[in-house]
Amino acid sequence: MNVLKLLLEKIDYKKERMVQIRRYLHQYPEVSFQEEKTAKFIEEFYKDVPVDKLETNFGGQHGIIVTIKGTKNSEQKNSSNHNHHKGKTILLRADFDALPVTEQTGLSYSSKNPGCMHACGHDAHTAYMLILAESLAEIKDLLSGEIRILHQPAEETPPGGALAMINAGCLEGVDLVFGIHLRADIETGHIICHPDSTQSGQSMFKLVIQGRGGHGASPHLSNDPIVAGASFVTNLQTIVSRRVNPFDMAVITVGSFDGAGQFNIIKDSVTLDGDVRTMNEETRILIEKEFRRLVAGLEVTFNVKTQLDYTNNYPVLKNDPEITLQVKEICERASGLNASQTNQEEILIPEITKVETGIPWSASEDFALYLQQRPGCYFYVGAMPEDGIWYPHHSPRFRIDERSMIISAKSMAAIVCEYCS
């Protein structure tokens, strides 16, 4: 029996329900660390699914872990054949938090929660994973090993939900970890599996510059922190242009400059907030060192006092090269894109039209924390809308092609069957 073919048939049969789940979740988004109703929805979904274990409020942060044990493995253990294949224990992760964004898509199922939107596709991640998990549970007698489904909260807001999940023991006994992110900037049908450093590490900073407030007509009696801050913002970019190796990726962004006040008043202090993205640890260390050096110089140059909070949040996401190439080969084989295949071999996932290694993505992801602990692969499934008009992730106009959910479920199904059947 072709286990993957049976699993894919189950997923195809449920594709309309997958869309319904996604649209429901899209209407009722919840931001990081506040996903109480979303977690309850996920919990209720599994009440009638034949999983082996359901753990809720995992890590104390609305996380949910579902365990599916392949019974084929236990049958083999009791047989006289000592050369049986023991399946792996793999973890599949899907995040489910939304963003503090006011939706402007005009969709019939737009967010009903003011100021909150699924602007990154986590609703779709959850929908495909629920249907996949249900389908896996229904055929667990044909699987070996163990599949652990992790529905993770709070990916969008540092320190993120992954840290609490790991501290609570989600990786105990796990051999491999896998995850998918839908991307509206990649054509639907395309899959990107990039080995090694794949997404940037992220740090954030908050800098308070304390000057001396006063009358705008007498600047010599004050000490203007806006002038100091403006100089700092400009000089900050010299770290990337003059200190970082041109072949290394680095971005420093000042996202907020709180300098609002009265037109004729020199402010007493200003606050700058921003973040830093790097693609390797050495560059991260260098930027923090140079950043602190510029802050110290600011105090000397402008005779101001500063208070700096600089936090390293998500590390660089590094895929295991060998596992990633295996994932690429699995997806190519299932979609008939493997150059070594014969024309007689059955194409199981025709929805996949291209598989490539692609280039790294400058966004950050707390899935990186799982990959620090276990080998695995985090890859991308194209979700560009059919009309070709796409908006960046986190945009109030962000949309996806819902066919990408089927591709996600099927490609992950192929990976599961490779290691657990």
Q: To which residue do tokens 């140059």 refer?
A: 301
Question: What is the structure's pLDDT at 72?
Answer: 79
Question: What is the structure's pLDDT at 343?
Answer: 64
Question: What is the structure's pLDDT at 77?
Answer: 43
Name the residue among 195, 122, 248 with its Cα closest to residue 377: 195
Question: What is the structure's pLDDT at 342?
Answer: 61
Q: To which residue do tokens 């799982």 refer?
A: 370
Domain ranges, residue 224: 201-314
CA-based R_g, the chain, Å: 24
> Could you say which residues of the chain have pLDDT below 50?
75-85
**235 shares its domain with 138:** no
Q: Which of 298, 314, 330 is where one domain is finished?
A: 314
Angle ∠(209,212,213) on CA atoms, nearest 5? 110
Using an 8 Å Cβ cutoff, are 300 and 315 in contact?
Answer: no
Catalytic residue among 35, 95, 134, 155: 155
Task: Tell me how far apart the terminal alpha carbons of the chain are, to the nearest angstrom.
Answer: 11
Catalytic residue among 30, 35, 95, 97: 97
- Whether 155 sits among the annotated catalytic residues: the reply is yes
**396 shares its domain with 247:** no
**70 shares its domain with 20:** yes
Question: What is the structure's pLDDT at 338?
Answer: 83
- The pair of three-digit structure tokens given for residue 79, joined into one six-digit string: 């047989």
> How many structural domains are present in the chain?
2
Q: Which of 314, 338, 373 is where one domain is finished?
A: 314
Using an 8 Å Cβ cutoff, are 364 and 199 in contact?
Answer: yes
Give the DSSP letter of residue 261.
-
Question: What is the structure's pLDDT at 421?
Answer: 82
Question: What is the structure's pLDDT at 1?
Answer: 61
Angle ∠(113,114,116) on CA atoms, nearest 5? 70
Q: To which residue do tokens 């990081």 refer?
A: 32
Using an 8 Å Cβ cutoff, are 165 and 58 in contact?
Answer: yes
Q: What burial letters (b/e) apply to 332-369, b meaning 16+ CB within 10 Å?
A: bbbbbbbeeeeeeeeebbebbbebeebebbebbbbbbb
**281 shares its domain with 369:** no
